[in-house]
Amino acid sequence: MLTIGTLSRQTGVKIPTIRYYEQMGLMAAAERSEGNQRRYGLRDRDRLSFIKHARDLGFTIEAIRELLELSAHPERPCADADQIAVRQLQSVREKIARLQTLETELGRIATCCHGDHIKDCYVLQSLANHEMCESEHQ
């Protein structure tokens, strides 16, 4: 059996996050020792590692919940898991596109400033006036 500290070190998940995952129902409530300390088994460690990896890839709590539910039924086709992964991939691609737009606009703003004084600073002027932007980047 693993203490919460050991589980945290082995998985790289902080203790408050482990407790949060228990509250959210992603992890089962831990067994308790006679001294009321949480105790975890290797299956708990493996589940937490799965959750951490999914979070590292940007999956939402709800998507992870769906994936965990699917993993509990190994006889089911994997099309549902594939669909969840495709949704996440699309979300990442949308974020990348937004970040590329931000990069372009920030690059333009940062290189347009030729003033010697703050009163002439293009960076500050463009931040104060969204109409000076060349693209929509909200």
pLDDT tens digits, one per residue of 50-99: 999 999 999 999 999 999 999 999 999 999 999 999 999 999 999 999 99
Among candidate residues 7, 62, 63, 60, the one with its CA nearest the CA of residue 30: 7
The total number of structural domains in the chain stands at 1
Query: Is 28's pLDDT higher than 80?
Result: yes
Q: Is 89 within the bounds of a domain?
A: no
What CATH number has the domain bearing residue 41?
1.10.1660.10
pLDDT tens digits, one per residue of 46-60: 999 999 999 999 999
Q: How far is CA 3 from the centre of its chain?
A: 25
Q: Is 55 within the bounds of a domain?
A: yes
Q: Is 132 within the bounds of a domain?
A: no
Q: Is 106 within the bounds of a domain?
A: no
Taking the model in full, what pTM does it have?
A: 0.80
The amino acid occupying position 68 is L
* Residue-range definition of the domain harbouring residue 52: 1-59
Q: Is 131 within the bounds of a domain?
A: no
25: left (phi over 0), alpha (psi -120 to 50) or beta: left
Q: Is 36 within the bounds of a domain?
A: yes
Q: Is 5 within the bounds of a domain?
A: yes
Q: Is 9 within the bounds of a domain?
A: yes
